[in-house]
Amino acid sequence: MKSILAIFVSIILVLAGCTNSEMGGSPAPSSPKETINNLGIYSIAASTENKYTAVVSEFDLGKKEYLSNAKKIMPYNIKGIIGVPKGDGPFPLILITHGSHSNDDESKRFDTGYDYLVSYLAENGYVTVSMDMSKPYIWKYGDNDDDEKSIPVANDHVESLLKANKGDNPGYPVDLKDKIDFEKIGLIGHSRGGETIFDIAMDQKNREIDIKAILSVAPTMLFEKKWPDTNVAILVPEYDGDVIQLDGFNMYRILNSEGQKNRNHYVTLLKGANHNYFNRNIQINDALMRSTEDISDQLTREQQESFLMDYAVGFFDSSFRGNNEHFINIHNPQPDKMYGLDVKSMFRSEQAVDLVDVDTTDDFIAEGAIIEATTDSWFYKDDKILIDTITSGLEPYNLRALINIKWEKSDSRVIISPRVQDFSKFTSLTLNMVIDSADELNQPNNSQRFTIGLRDVDGNFSKIVLPEGLNALDYTSGKIDSTQVFEETLYYWSVASPISAINLPLNEFKDVNLKRIESIEMIFDQTDSGSVYIDSILLQ
C-alpha cells in the first residue's frame, strides 16, 4: 500500500508542476495593462538653408483688354515682379494674387508689396510671379465681379510663361527657357485674392493645367464656388481688422465638405497677426479697428513677413517635394509654435475618417460629467451657445453641431464609442475642439488640460496627458457682451473662439491593441472643472 500511495502522490506533484499549456488547456489570463505618456509642446522650425541665388525683376509684357459679362471693357497690362532661381530647372511655379486694396486709384501697385516673398521662394527653388491684379478691382470697370475679371489676367500670365519656357520670351527680363515645371504649379492669394485663386484654379483646370497647391492668406469667403482637386493651406490672422469674421475658417469647413477629399487641407490661426502686414504696400494697421480688444501682443510687420515666407516654403515643399519636416503633418502633434510664433491649427488629411456623430450624444457616455448636443449658429434664432466658433451665412454652414462636455470635479470622464475599431491603418487621432471661455467652469486666462486614452477590447488602457499651456485649449480673452435685436437681448462672448485640433500620433499610445479599440476616453484629471465643445473626432 505504501508503494501505491507514493506513486499516486508523485503523479499529483508532477501534474501540479505542469503549466496549463503543457496539459493542453488555455494559458492563464494576464491582467490588462495600463500605460501613461506625458506629451510635450510641439514646435515646427523653419528651414535654415536657402538653396539658390535668386534674380528678382519687374516686368511689363504690354497691354490687353477684357470685355466682362457686364459688358464693360477692362484695360490692363500683363505686369508684375518675377523671381527666378539660378541653376538648372525645371522648378515649380508659384503665382501670387493680391487683394482689393484700392477701388478707384489705378496707379497704386500691390503686386510689388510681395517682393520679399517672391525673392524668398525663388531662393528656395521656385519660379515665382507676383501678378498685378489691380484692374479687376477698379469700380469703373465693374463692381463686385473681380472673381470673373481676375481669371483672364491670370491666364495671360500663365500663357506668357508657357511661351517663355519654350524659348519664345514675350518680354521677361530673364531667360526662362526650360526653367518651369508646369506639372507643379501653386497659387498664393491674399484677402479677396485668397478667394479668387480658387476661381483661377478651376479655370486653369478647364484649360488642362492642374494647380497642385493653393495657399490662401487672410481670405474672404463671399460666394459659393467649385473647389479644385488640390492641397490647400489657409492662413488666418488673429487680429484681422479687414476680414473680421475670420472667413478662412468657414472656407476650410466648406472645402472639407464640398471639396476634393483626396487632398490635404490645413487652416492656421497666426496669433497676434493683422490683415495688412503681409503686403508691404499697405500701411494701415487694421488691427486697430478691432474696437476694445487688447492687441498689445500684436506682431510686427517683419514678424508677419518672416512667418509667411517660412509657411509658404514649408507648405509648397510638403506638397511638391514630399518634405514634411517644416510643415504640419499627421505624424506629429499639432504645433503650438511655427517658425517661432504662436499658432492654432486644424488639418484634414486625404485618409481622414470621422469617428463620431456630434448631432447626438449616442456615441458618448459621461461618468461624473455632463454631456449635451448643442448648436452654434450664424443666425441668432438658431444659436444656442455664447461663444462664436465661426459659422457662415451660407447654408448649411450657418449651423455647427457640437457636443458640450462640462465637469465640476476632478477625475470625471467621458467614454466615446468610435465607429471604427481598427485604428492600426491610421497615423493619428485628432480631436477638433475649443474651450467655452464664457463658462465660469474654465478659469479666466488659463488653458484647459486633461488626459486622453484608448482602451482595447481586452481592457488594456493607454493614456496621454496633454501638456500645460496648450494653444489648442487656451482661454479666449473677452467678456460677455449684449446687443438688442428687435425686442430681444442677445448675449455673446465678445471675441471669436475658432475650433482647433489636438492631434495625437497613435504610436504614442503604448501596449494597446490598435486593431481592436473599444473606446476613446477623456479623463478630466488635471483641473477641477471645465467646459469644452467637441466639433469632430477623426482618424487620420
Is 50 exceeded by the pLDDT of residue 18?
no
Is 70 exceeded by the pLDDT of residue 1?
no
Candidates 346, 309, 85; CA nearest to 215 is: 309
Is 70 exceeded by the pLDDT of residue 235?
yes
CB 399 within 8 A of CB 384: no
Q: What is the number of helices (H) and of strands (E) in the chain?
A: 6, 25
Amino acid at 463: K
The dihedral built from the CA positions of residue 96, 160, 181 and 213, taken in this order, carries a sign that is: positive
In the block, cell 497704386 appears at 108
More confident position, 492 or 19: 492
Q: What is the pLDDT of residues 323-357, one digit of tens each?
A: 999 999 999 999 999 999 999 999 999 899 999 99
Candidates 104, 172, 95; CA nearest to 135 is: 104
What is the mean predicted confidence (pLDDT) over 397-424? 97
Is 50 exceeded by the pLDDT of residue 487?
yes
What value does the mean pLDDT of the chain take? 92
Q: From residue 405, how far is each of 159, 182, 265 by CA, in Å? A: 54, 49, 27
- Concatenating the DSSP letter of every residue in 138-190 gives -GGG-SS-HHHHHHHHHHHHHHHHHHHHTT--SS-SS--TT-EEEEEEEEEEE
Q: What is the pLDDT of residues 443-457, one digit of tens each?
A: 998 999 999 999 999
Q: What is the pLDDT of residues 138-190, one digit of tens each?
A: 988 888 888 899 999 999 999 999 999 999 999 999 999 999 999 999 999 99
CB 527 within 8 A of CB 410: yes
By the 10 Å C-beta count (0-12 exposed, 13-18 middle, 19+ buried), 352 is classed as buried
Q: What is the pLDDT of residues 209-226, one digit of tens each?
A: 999 999 999 999 887 888
CA 215/CA 105 separation, integer angstroms: 27
SS3 98: coil
CB 215 within 8 A of CB 233: yes
What is the mean predicted confidence (pLDDT) over 387-411? 95
Its pTM stands at: 0.93
CA 359/CA 40 separation, integer angstroms: 32
User: Tell me, what's the pLDDT at 291?
Assistant: 62
Angle at which helices 301-321 and 115-123 pack, to 10 degrees?
A: 40
| Torsion angles phi and psi, residue 145, rounded to 5 | -125, 30
User: Tell me, what's the pLDDT at 292?
Assistant: 59
CA 414/CA 368 separation, integer angstroms: 8
Name the grid cell of 503: 492631434
What is the mean predicted confidence (pLDDT) over 186-197? 97
User: Tell me, what's the pLDDT at 16?
Assistant: 43
User: Tell me, what's the pLDDT at 49?
Assistant: 83
433: Cα within 13 Å, side-chain hemisphere: 26
User: Tell me, what's the pLDDT at 115?
Assistant: 98
Is 70 exceeded by the pLDDT of residue 260?
no
Query: Order of strands, edge to edge, in the sheet holding 54-67?
Result: 43-44, 337-338, 341-348, 265-270, 231-237, 211-217, 180-190, 91-97, 127-131, 73-85, 54-67
Nearest 10 degrees: Cα torsion 474, 269, 338, 330 = 90
Q: What's 436's DSSP letter? A: -
pLDDT band at 11 (very low <50, low <70, confident <90, very high): very low
Q: Which residues touch 96 (CB under 8 Å, ≥6 apart)? A: 111, 114, 117, 118, 128, 129, 130, 131, 187, 188, 189, 190
CA 60/CA 459 separation, integer angstroms: 69
Q: What residues form DSSP beta bridges with 365?
A: 415
CB 352 within 8 A of CB 539: yes
Is 50 exceeded by the pLDDT of residue 5?
no
Q: Which residues touch 246 (CB under 8 Å, ≥6 apart)? A: 236, 240, 269, 390, 496, 498
Is 50 exceeded by the pLDDT of residue 13?
no
More confident position, 106 or 408: 408
Which run of H or E residues covers position 306?
helix 301-321
pLDDT band at 28 (very low <50, low <70, confident <90, very high): low
CB 39 within 8 A of CB 473: no
Q: How many CB atoms lie within 10 A of CB 381?
A: 8
Q: What is the pLDDT of residues 97-124, one digit of tens each?
A: 999 988 878 888 999 999 999 999 999 9
CA 518/CA 530 separation, integer angstroms: 26
Is 80 exceeded by the pLDDT of residue 479?
yes
Query: Residues, the chain, total?
Result: 540
Cis previous bond, 85, omega within 30: no
What is the mean predicted confidence (pLDDT) over 9-38? 57
